[in-house]
Amino acid sequence: MTLNTSRRGFLQGAAAAGAVLVVGLRTDGALAAGNASAQINPFVKVGADGRVIAIIKHFEKGQGPATGLSTLIAEEIGVGMDQIDYEFAPSNPELYANLAFGQFQGTGGSTAMANSFMQYRTAGAAARAMILDAAAQAQGVDASTLDIVDGMVTGAGQPAPLGDFVAAAAQLEAPTDPVLKTPDQWRLIGNPDVRRLDSKIKGDGTALYAMDVFLPNQMVAMLARPPQTGGLVASFDDSEAKTVKGFIRAATLPNNAAVAVYAENTWAAMQARDALSVEWDLSAAETRDSAQIKDEILAALDGEAEYNVLQNDPGPMDQAAQVVEQTFYFPLLAHAPMEPLNCTIQADEDGGVTLHDGAQFPTGPHMALAEIFELPMDKVRINTMLAGGSFGRRATPTADYQVEAALAFVITDRTRPVKLVWSREDDVRGGYYRPAFGHKVRVGLSADGEIVAWDHRIAGQSIMKGTAFESFSVHDGVDHSSVEGVADTPYTIPGFHVGLTDTKKATSTLWWRSVGHTHTAYAMEVMMDAAARAAGRDPVEFRLAHLGDGPDAARKAAVLRLAADKAAWGNAPSDRTQGIAVHKSFGSYVAEVVEISGDAESGVKIEKITCAVDCGLPVNPDVIKAQVEGGVGYGIGHAMRDEITLTGGVVDQANFPDYEPLRIRDIGAIETHIVPSTQAPTGIGEPGTPPSAPALANAISQSGRIVALLPMVNDGVRFV
């Protein structure tokens, strides 16, 4: 197989060549260390050759944890970024849990750095302390006189490479409470010149994704899935498929959800699947059109709210001098990560199975595969590979595509590995969409232009209800992910009422980069602008006037001021128009100013975007900037022109030509400013997305029209 890259070979070689110090956690959470035979799952390994390997418990979809967690380890030990490599951790929910998720290993909610920051620093500091103790003993000096700089132990004795002390260090007990470096000692954390560890392999084609797994004798499986959610296989005819060279066989999955077509290679699988004829049982299938779904959601906004989420100081709306009212609609959206979904399952010699996957939530497929194959957890292994994007799609409460692969594998004789491949059409039509939502907002203003009441109705399709994550997010019937960003806004809003109504799903739904904030930030921030305009006040000043003195509001106000200042708010060139939005999500605060030329009728051109972000202590400033740039593009691209629609329950879109991605000419320069901070690091993968589309809408609305029905091209906006 092609997994034996030079880097992997090197790592194995390093371990075999001599001693290794491993530092990690025991199941009781205590630090533990030892040599290569130690029965712990490590966070860091240090070889006798001086190379350090960070074991990354989060998957890498481009958001930067491979670099970020390696930075923490390198910093604490005292090596340069050119002296550290990374490996992805095996699946083990006890040892590699996401501390924000409980006993569950997974990446999401922009938590990778936030939950790992102390854990990885502590592991690195323990390794450093043990190496220094071993060096002190060898040199007959006090450990406190020694330091590790760029991999060299320096101080009282003769400078020596840290690898010289690895064997002795591996014999020592791990310290219970290692001393962490202080910010004045940091050389890597916060350093804007630290580069990504995965840049080179991704620029020269050597990076390996799950799609690049080619195991000896593997089959490629593609599935024929029902045209509508809820459909099942009735029967199939593969006589045409048999004429495709490389076709092996077709079989209905045990759950009747699809027909698997097995072939010798991907192209044969694609052609054989096209040649397959399937009769579907559509008796329980979804049959609605998206226009009907939209009507249901908009109607729910006018009825009694199913849940009164929040009601403070019952609003004196009837005493308001004027009321600004707006209804918003947000369509279904697909994630469409660049690497189509796929994974490979093989049988292991001991009766277990290995899943090769860009695994975002390893614990989910781990448990699902253990059940399907009737194996104990320790006989199911997951080889986490680089992921070609996700935006949430690779993490589903049902482990959907891994279960498909497992079902396709379990009905074979298991002598040949099975690689499940989705086409782009499978992906765009495959459900798990950002749910459709509607908002209806009424803002009451006093005669002097202050908010006196805010009635906010939300209706849409709950992401969490009915899933294994329900208890995580649903309380008293309210799915927090439906109202986050409204009900917990840092704005000071008197007379605030938030009501929620759940509507019936037409497809499976899923978190999509920034989850509920994808729509709540838009409704909040477009309304803040509409209210400011009605009050005759500047949008920045109006927002600041509704942010109090608490720490939460102060941080939000600070990014708002910074973005406005850096964008020269109010002083745009005469042919340009600016719009601003600010939003808190995943513990981080982001303000964005979008500057456009043209207008909705003649065509809008996005010239420039200025961002300010406070995500706590910035570990890798350049990665933070990249995530804001990408988050802005993801938010704006979809808001401009993308939606998933249904006709009779069947998805109308199929591939990029009708689910058009953001293109290079669509978006101008993005400038990102990071607020210096000593607060604990918070999220950055998602927070750049929420303010981007409302900032664009607010720029467009300067010429008088509120853009409220997304995508924007459906609401009278042209882009050039």
Partner 1 sequence: MSLVLKLNGVEHTVDAEPGTPLLWVIRDELKMTGTKFGCGVASCGACTVHVDGYPTRSCQTYIDDLEGAEITTIEAIGATKAGAAVQQAWAELDVVQCGYCQSGQVMSAVGLLTENPKPTVEEIHDYMDGNACRCATYQRIRAGIQRASEIMEG
Interface positions with partner 1 (CB under 8 A): 2, 61-64, 195-196, 198-209, 211-212, 214, 220, 245-246, 265-267, 270, 336-340, 386-391, 423-425, 622-623, 626-627, 629-630, 632-634, 637, 655-657, 661-667, 669-670
Closer Cβ to partner 1, 141 or 207, answer by number: 207
Closer Cβ to partner 1, 97 or 636, answer by number: 636
Sequence-separated contacts (24+) of 312-316 with Cβ below 8 Å: 312/494, 312/495, 312/496, 312/497, 313/494, 313/495, 313/496, 314/495, 314/497, 315/444, 315/452, 315/453, 315/454, 315/455, 315/494, 315/495, 315/496, 315/497, 316/444, 316/452, 316/453, 316/495
Kindly state the helix (H) or strand (E) to which residue 582 belongs, with its residue range.
strand 576-585
As measured in angstroms, the least distance from the Cβ of 215 to partner 1 is 11
As measured in angstroms, the least distance from the Cβ of 157 to partner 1 is 37
Which three-class secondary structure state does DSSP give residue 174? coil
Alpha-carbon span 102 to 91, nearest angstrom: 15
Q: Can you name the residues that pair with 224 across neighbouring β-strands?
A: 259
Alpha-carbon span 62 to 583, nearest angstrom: 23
Closer Cβ to partner 1, 63 or 509, answer by number: 63
As measured in angstroms, the least distance from the Cβ of 632 to partner 1 is 7
As measured in angstroms, the least distance from the Cβ of 387 to partner 1 is 7
Closer Cβ to partner 1, 3 or 17, answer by number: 3
Closer Cβ to partner 1, 64 or 579, answer by number: 64
Kindly state the helix (H) or strand (E) to which residue 338 belongs, with its residue range.
none
As measured in angstroms, the least distance from the Cβ of 659 to partner 1 is 10
As measured in angstroms, the least distance from the Cβ of 191 to partner 1 is 13
Closer Cβ to partner 1, 209 or 569, answer by number: 209
As measured in angstroms, the least distance from the Cβ of 422 to partner 1 is 10
- Is the bond into 192 cis (omega within 30 degrees of 0)? no
As measured in angstroms, the least distance from the Cβ of 62 to partner 1 is 3
Which three-class secondary structure state does DSSP give residue 154? strand
Q: What is the DSSP letter of 303?
A: S
As measured in angstroms, the least distance from the Cβ of 510 to partner 1 is 16
As measured in angstroms, the least distance from the Cβ of 682 to partner 1 is 19
* CB of 297 closer than 8 Å to CB of 500: no
| Pairing status of strand 31-34 against strand 418-421 | unpaired
Alpha-carbon span 235 to 254, nearest angstrom: 13
Closer Cβ to partner 1, 140 or 203, answer by number: 203
Closer Cβ to partner 1, 221 or 498, answer by number: 221
Closer Cβ to partner 1, 10 or 656, answer by number: 656
Tokens representing 475 are 């309380």
As measured in angstroms, the least distance from the Cβ of 55 to partner 1 is 21
| Pairing status of strand 437-445 against strand 52-56 | unpaired
Cβ neighbourhood burial of 466 (10 Å; 0-12, 13-18, 19+): exposed
As measured in angstroms, the least distance from the Cβ of 151 to partner 1 is 22
Alpha-carbon span 475 to 64, nearest angstrom: 33
Closer Cβ to partner 1, 458 or 628, answer by number: 628
Closer Cβ to partner 1, 104 or 512, answer by number: 512
As measured in angstroms, the least distance from the Cβ of 661 to partner 1 is 4
Which three-class secondary structure state does DSSP give residue 581? strand
Closer Cβ to partner 1, 334 or 405, answer by number: 334
Alpha-carbon span 376 to 369, nearest angstrom: 10
Contacts of 529 (CB under 8 A, 6+ apart): 539, 579, 580, 581, 694, 698, 701
Which three-class secondary structure state does DSSP give residue 717? coil
Closer Cβ to partner 1, 404 or 622, answer by number: 622
In the block, residue with structure tokens 């591939």? 655
Task: Name the CA radius of gyration of the chain, rounded.
Answer: 27
As measured in angstroms, the least distance from the Cβ of 207 to partner 1 is 5
Closer Cβ to partner 1, 265 or 645, answer by number: 265
Q: Can you name the residues that pair with 153 across neighbouring β-strands?
A: 148, 160
Alpha-carbon span 659 to 113, nearest angstrom: 32
| Pairing status of strand 219-224 against strand 418-421 | parallel
Question: Which three-class secondary structure string do you get for 522-543?
Answer: HHHHHHHHHHHHHHCCCHHHHH
As measured in angstroms, the least distance from the Cβ of 372 to partner 1 is 27
Alpha-carbon span 107 to 671, nearest angstrom: 27
Cα 244 to Cα 132, 266, 637, distances in angstroms:
64, 12, 39
* CB of 26 closer than 8 Å to CB of 173: no
Closer Cβ to partner 1, 202 or 561, answer by number: 202
Q: Can you name the residues that pair with 147 across neighbouring β-strands?
A: 154
Closer Cβ to partner 1, 193 or 374, answer by number: 193
Alpha-carbon span 299 to 331, nearest angstrom: 15
Tokens representing 424 are 């782009």
As measured in angstroms, the least distance from the Cβ of 86 to partner 1 is 14
Alpha-carbon span 521 to 687, nearest angstrom: 10
